[in-house]
Amino acid sequence: MEDPRSETVPLYGSRSKKRCMEFALVLDAVGIRCAVLPRDGKFALVVHERDADRAREQLRLYGHEHRAVPPRFDARLRVHDGLVSACLYGVTILLFDILQGNQAFALDWLGAGMSHAGLIREGEWWRAVTSLALHTDTLHLAGNLVFGLVFGFLAGGLLGWGLAWSGMLLAGALGNAVNAFVQAPDHMSIGASTAVFATVGILAAYTWKRRRTLINRWVPLGGGVALLAFLGMSGERTDIFAHVTGFGSGCLFGLVFGVLETRALLAPWHRHALGLAAVLLFAVAWTLALVARG
């Protein structure tokens, strides 16, 4: 371009010179002369005024083709996020076991927080959330703690701690709510196992959604169902249907997360915001439970 400052129009501006150069290469490839110039603390891609319409159309086509290509699934674990997710789960479960076991602050934590089908139907929705943090005995706690830490770490490493934590809590609560509406009104349950199987469902469905080859696409869902059958369908006091509804809710959340990522609709701060919102929801649910119990 002989004199990029004369008879030129800006097509695109960004603080990233690399992004402008990417678009400049697109235009150069189709024979449209252009330049990348510093302007007002940014970089601007400019073309001759006579080429502006054709250049805009080429960039539009390029953008459309670029968005149409699904991002490649990255199966690498982000260890930091996995550890944060696992620690959030573990600390929460252990903290509420201590509060429940010691009847801290002279409060009936079990009565206030257990999942009671009839009360949930009558509007005490918070029990679907609070019951996830309560356990009957040490063996019950240990099983949910071990499996929750493992699957929480995997979910956090794959999706980021914010998506993993919010998905675990919300899908687990949804599983409890669905379970409450299909069980008898006097049905009661507690335990994090619904959230644990929700996490298994999230991992299975998210991985299924992100994989692009038919050969191994169904492996995650098959593995999730196998884990559900192996770990969640036995035991004298096992709430089997809660495990099934938790797994199903997790699959729903995993699909949603996969779609959002495929369409590049989740920025890093969105993930953090969802994680913090889940923490706030958990706190609100327990506040309502203790206030309602008096």
Residue 116 main-chain phi, psi, to 5 deg: -120, 115
Question: Which residues, listed in sequence order, are joined to residue 36 by a DSSP beta bridge?
Answer: 45
User: Distance between CA 95 and CA 211 in Å, rounded?
Assistant: 37
User: Distance between CA 37 and CA 33 in Å, rounded?
Assistant: 13
* Confidence (pLDDT) at 11: 84
Torsion angle (degrees, nearest 10) of CA 166, 170, 171, 177: 170
**Shared-domain flag, residues 43 and 125:** no
**Shared-domain flag, residues 271 and 140:** yes
Q: Is the dihedral of CA 283, 287, 293, 294 positive or negative?
A: positive
Query: In this structure, is residue 245 part of a structural domain?
Result: yes
Decide if pLDDT at 29 tops 50. yes
When pLDDT is averaged across residues 23-30 and rounded to a whole number, the result is: 88
Residue 160 main-chain phi, psi, to 5 deg: 95, 150
Query: How many domains does the structure of the chain reveal?
Result: 2
Decide if pLDDT at 194 tops 60. yes
The last residue of a domain, from among 68, 95, 120: 68
When pLDDT is averaged across residues 50-75 and rounded to a whole number, the result is: 71
Query: In this structure, is residue 120 part of a structural domain?
Result: yes
Query: In this structure, is residue 1 part of a structural domain?
Result: no
The last residue of a domain, from among 21, 48, 68: 68
Q: 203: left (phi > 0), else alpha (psi -120 to 50), else beta?
A: alpha
| CATH code of the domain in which 50 resides | 3.30.70.1530
pLDDT band per the 50, 70, 90 thresholds, residue 3: very low
Q: pLDDT tens digits, residue range 242-269?
A: 888 999 999 999 999 988 877 767 778 8
Query: In this structure, is residue 143 part of a structural domain?
Result: yes
What range does the domain containing 251 cover? 79-293
Higher pLDDT: 68 or 11? It is 11
When pLDDT is averaged across residues 5-28 and rounded to a whole number, the result is: 82
| DSSP state letter for 239 | -
Average pLDDT, the chain: 84
Beta-strand ranges (E) seen in the chain are: 8-14, 34-39, 42-48, 115-116, 188-189
Residue 46 main-chain phi, psi, to 5 deg: -120, 150
- Nearest CA to 133 out of 89, 192, 77 is that of 192
**Shared-domain flag, residues 133 and 51:** no
> For residue 159, which amino acid is it?
L
**Shared-domain flag, residues 64 and 111:** no
**Shared-domain flag, residues 143 and 269:** yes
Asked whether 208 and 221 are in contact (CB, 8 A), the reply is yes
Query: In this structure, is residue 136 part of a structural domain?
Result: yes
**Shared-domain flag, residues 167 and 21:** no
Q: Is the dihedral of CA 82, 84, 85, 90 positive or negative?
A: positive
**Shared-domain flag, residues 26 and 115:** no
The secondary structure of the chain in percent helix, strand, coil, rounded to multiples of 5, reads: 70, 10, 20
User: Distance between CA 264 and CA 156 in Å, rounded?
Assistant: 18
**Shared-domain flag, residues 149 and 240:** yes
* Confidence (pLDDT) at 129: 97
**Shared-domain flag, residues 91 and 190:** yes
* Confidence (pLDDT) at 74: 55
Model-wide pTM > 0.85: no
* Confidence (pLDDT) at 235: 56
| DSSP state letter for 203 | H
Query: In this structure, is residue 74 part of a structural domain?
Result: no
The last residue of a domain, from among 20, 47, 68: 68
Decide if pLDDT at 1 tops 60. no
**Shared-domain flag, residues 161 and 16:** no
**Shared-domain flag, residues 29 and 92:** no
Decide if pLDDT at 80 tops 70. yes
| CATH code of the domain in which 184 resides | 1.20.1540.10
* Confidence (pLDDT) at 13: 83
When pLDDT is averaged across residues 65-80 and rounded to a whole number, the result is: 61
Residues 6+ apart with CB under 8 A from 212: 70, 72, 73
Judged by average pLDDT, the poorest of 24-33, 109-118, 127-136, 231-240 is 231-240
Query: In this structure, is residue 2 part of a structural domain?
Result: no
Decide if pLDDT at 67 tops 60. no
**Shared-domain flag, residues 121 and 204:** yes
